Amino acid sequence: MTHKKVLVADRIAKEGIDVLRDKGYDVDVKLDLTEDELAAQIAPYDAIVVRSATPVTRRVIEAAENLKIIGRAGVGVDTIDLDAATERGVIVCNAPTSNIMSAAEHTMALMLACARQLPQANASMHEGKWERSKFLGKELYEKTLAIFGLGRIGGLVAERARAFGMKIIGHDPYCSPERADQLGVELFERVEDVLARADFITVHLPKTPETIGMFGPEEFAAMKDGVVLINAARGGIYNVKSLSDFVAAGKIFAAGIDMFEEEPCTGSPLHEFDNVLLTPHLGASTHEAQVRAGVQIAEYVSSGLEGSIVPTALNMTLVPPEMMDAVGPYVPACQMMGRILAQILGCIPKTLRVEAAGTIANADASILVAGALDGILAYRRAGSVTPVNVESVAVRHGIKVDTASIADADEYASAVKVVADGVEVGATLFGSMQRPRIMSLLDYKIDIAPAKQSLVFEYVDAPGRIGAIGTLLGNEGVNITTMQIGTKPSEKTALVYMNVEGSVNDQLLEKLSSTLDFKNVWSFSL
């Protein structure tokens, strides 16, 4: 009998390796491999387990002929090419709860150390000095702590800070008022409303284009004098150059930084300041967290290799074959519809309804809901929604979800309709590749395969409108590749869905809307 092979490419707890070996897998531990070495050696392995040191790139994944699952013994998967893995049908999973307690405690440790100037006092003592009057600190009691990001770790920090008698305020667009109330956090919608109120600020945000450099000169200037800043989340959320400038100016009393944009970080503008406490990415560096991460990821990798559900799958979730055969192909369609709805609404909806029709009417709709919700949230955060976590994700974002089964899909064998805050889009699948095709939008009946870039116009129907649109787009260098028109005769309105190529910006949209007097104009990026 040939045993399945697992490659452990980064250091994980021995307990995790023991779990894999006890289950009968052949486990090889090969550390510090370069991309060339990993690509050359990955082919025989069914699974690979990594931490943050070893990138699993597209090149590595494409060389992995037998690879079925990638396990990250920790939380972040920035070093794994999720798109490449998904294209190859390789599951990517992590151990998201393994280090949350350690990270929360490290945040509190940084906060206390900064407030009481412990690193400076310790260094002074080791120099043989006794400078008691020099190190006048701050209490946490009755101070205001601002938490940006109220996910698992941010929530744990809130609970611990409350025990110190702190007042907790926060900002998280995806945190529901109910969750904030449970955590004892006063939520604010605008970042600027939080900054001037906080004596301490800690960030627990994912790494996204919106969060990198989120705090720069304007934000630091708006903070209280003597504020203490903590970052044990992701490097770069505080602009390092600006932060150093404000530390030098005395605006910031102290900062505790555990995460850096480029690691290892052995030099930065912050290194020169005694009141900036720097730690080398220690948030998860406890014995307990390492054991949990190793054991959890070993269990998840084993589940994936045995064909069971992987609870933390980030790009797919294994479900019973009969369910996957029925509804699995609709997941990309639901993600696509979710993205469209997000771009129409411009915000997270309060209600979400998923209707499965025709041959898939009686299938478990959880995977469809997960796909739609994942699409809606795709532009706002990192990570994925799965059938396993879809309910908790919906609750966290304050979205009321319901589903329906419709026996008749009209002229289609099967179809899915997604409605968010009353805005509707429907899709079916076509061709041997089961590509998504939009069959309705805003209750207009259309039939078009969406491209990566589309323009959608809603207007009062009148002769010559399509010609005018085409002329204006042509003058702006935008090419129409395919187009569909839907009408509502009772309302005398029409909707045009155009797949386009070329540069579409806000100025073009404004020109289209003002020149041709449209009811609505949208640009979709899928």
Torsion of CA 358, 317, 430, 487, to 10 degrees: 70
The C-alpha atoms of residue 373 and residue 187 are separated, in whole angstroms, by 23
The C-alpha atoms of residue 365 and residue 371 are separated, in whole angstroms, by 10
Q: Which residues pair with 522 in a beta bridge?
A: 456
HSE-up of residue 452 (Cα within 13 Å, Cβ side): 4
Residue 52: count of CB within 10 angstroms of its CB: 18
The separation between CA 201 and the C-alpha centre of its own chain, rounded to angstroms, equals 22
Segment holding 228, helix H or strand E: strand 227-231
3 is an active site residue: no
- Tell me 261's DSSP state: S
234 is an active site residue: yes
487 touches 493 (CB < 8 A):
yes
Catalytic position from the list 171, 179, 204, 234: 234
144 touches 158 (CB < 8 A):
no
Catalytic position from the list 59, 116, 281, 380: 281
Torsion of CA 147, 153, 157, 160, to 10 degrees: 160
271 is an active site residue: no
Q: Integer distance in angstroms from the first to the last C-alpha of the chain?
A: 45
Catalytic position from the list 37, 210, 263, 322: 263
The sign of the torsion formed by the CA atoms of 281, 287, 293, 298 equals positive
The catalytic residue positions are 234, 263, 281
